[in-house]
Amino acid sequence: MKNKMLLAILSFVLAAGVLVPNDKIFRAKGVCVQTKSYQWVLPKGFPVPRVPADNPMTAAKVELGRYLFYDVRLSLNQTTSCATCHRQELAFTDGRAKAIGATGQAHPRSSMSLTNVAYAPTLAWANPSMTLLERQPLVPLFGEHPVEMGMAGKEQQLLTRIKAEPTYQLLFNNAYPDEGDPYTLGNVTKALASFVRTLISGDSPYDRYKYQGEAEAISAGAKRGEALFFGERLECFDCHTGFNLSGPTDDAGKAFVENSFENNGLYNLDGKGAYPGENTGVFEITANPNDMGKFKIPTLRNIAVTAPYMHDGSIPNLRRVLDHYSAGGRTIRTGQFAGNGHLSPLKSNLVRGFHLTEREKQDVILFLQSLTDEKFLKNPKLSKP
């Protein structure tokens, strides 16, 4: 009898989202969630992010990571920081079709938004193996094809620069108080990962309307756009789903982590589904012909400020994005990328096409604009210190 009563109580507490097993809450229904070493401030309904056991969240590491994120000392010529390609006011993108590295080299892809990256099971446009925020900074720091920060072979120089800055002497000692020499590359990436995990956005007008009971937080047009977005005609929610309006998400309570990459019919160079050579999607990693043109499904949160769109920034605005999906794939009539994406044999069967009137297009755009979280874009805790 006592066991049944205990199970009933546990079930009720879990449903309410307030149980703290092993000092962790696995689903947050309120605003504040206390874990063993860090207090998360989460939007209503957001789960607690998954955090590696060897890099527990602490306020000191988050603050150190914030300084490092905005520090140009991390680049070869001290002109570029993480924030150069991930600007807060643009939802941590850079407004470019293709990113530019510290040496001026143009990249084949755009800088992906870091909005809610704490919930991302994969961290790159087309690399299923890039799953850990602690490892991801190694790519921009030391990658050579293309060059981003340009520090390949200069790891010790990077650490020497940081150690020479008086501010970091306090910040590193606070973040890693039990280490005799905390100035290590591993500690740099752990701090960066800790800060980036705090880039959580969930207070847009749509959130206030949908989850906080503010009926007038969005316009009538945005409400019509919401109905279209989640309706059977468009079925946008097939790909942009859940609290993050993205592909699959990960969090501390999930036993199984999924990922998803899709070909949305953006290119079809040869009639067989080929993409431009510098952007072949997951195929570049797997060499599986079926993975040609498959890219990550990004979040739509703050989408109105992250133009241009797609992995290569080849669509300039939201109206043109809707045109692309309305057609069920893009047709490029002339030039080196000419082809009919709608006819690609590799295109996802979720990209079927649909018809929208001009008013309906505007309504969908109003809905997408309602996903802009102005507090997130201006939060001083996420800004340059």
> Where exactly does CATH 1.10.760.10 map onto the chain?
59-200, 205-376
Q: Can you give the pLDDT at residue 46?
A: 96
How far is Cα 197 from Cα 58, in angstroms, rounded to an integer? 11
Dihedral (CA of 58, 64, 67, 69) sign: negative
Average pLDDT for the chain? 91
Q: Can you give the pLDDT at residue 34?
A: 53
- Could you tell me what percent of the chain has a pLDDT over 90? 89
Per-residue pLDDT for 22 more than 60?
no
Instruction: Tell whether pTM > 0.85.
Output: yes
CB-CB contact of 293 with 280 (8 Å): yes
pLDDT tens for 209-235 read 999 999 999 999 999 999 999 999 999
Please state the rounded mean pLDDT for residues 355-369: 98
Q: Can you give the pLDDT at residue 368?
A: 98
How far is Cα 248 from Cα 298, in angstroms, rounded to an integer? 10
Place 196 in a pLDDT band, splitting at 50, 70 and 90: very high
Instruction: From 192, 193, 171, select the one nearest 182 (Cα to Cα).
Output: 171
* Long-range pairs of 232-240 with CB within 8 A, sequence gap ≥ 24: 233/354, 234/325, 234/354, 234/356, 234/364, 235/350, 236/325, 238/350, 239/297, 239/350, 240/297, 240/299, 240/300
How far is Cα 379 from Cα 225, in angstroms, rounded to an integer? 28
How far is Cα 2 from Cα 259, in angstroms, rounded to an integer? 41
Please state the rounded mean pLDDT for residues 36-48: 90
**3-state SS, residue 32:** strand
**Residue with more model confidence, 11 or 321:** 321
Q: Can you give the pLDDT at residue 37?
A: 74
pLDDT tens for 111-156 read 999 999 999 999 999 999 999 999 999 999 999 999 999 999 999 9
Q: Can you give the pLDDT at residue 132?
A: 97
Least confident among 20-24, 214-218, 280-284, 374-378: 20-24
Q: Topology of 205-376 in CATH?
A: Cytochrome Bc1 Complex; Chain D, domain 2 (1.10.760)
Instruction: Look up the CATH architecture of domain 59-200.
Output: Orthogonal Bundle (1.10)
Angle CA 251–244–121, to nearest 5? 40
> Which DSSP state fits 282?
T
Per-residue pLDDT for 35 more than 90?
no
Dihedral (CA of 193, 194, 197, 200) sign: negative
Q: Can you give the pLDDT at residue 223?
A: 98
Per-residue pLDDT for 24 more than 60?
no
Residue partners of 225: CB distance under 8 A and separation at least 6: 360, 363, 364, 365, 366, 367, 368, 370
CB-CB contact of 300 with 230 (8 Å): no
Structure tokens at 114: 């870091």
**3-state SS, residue 309:** strand
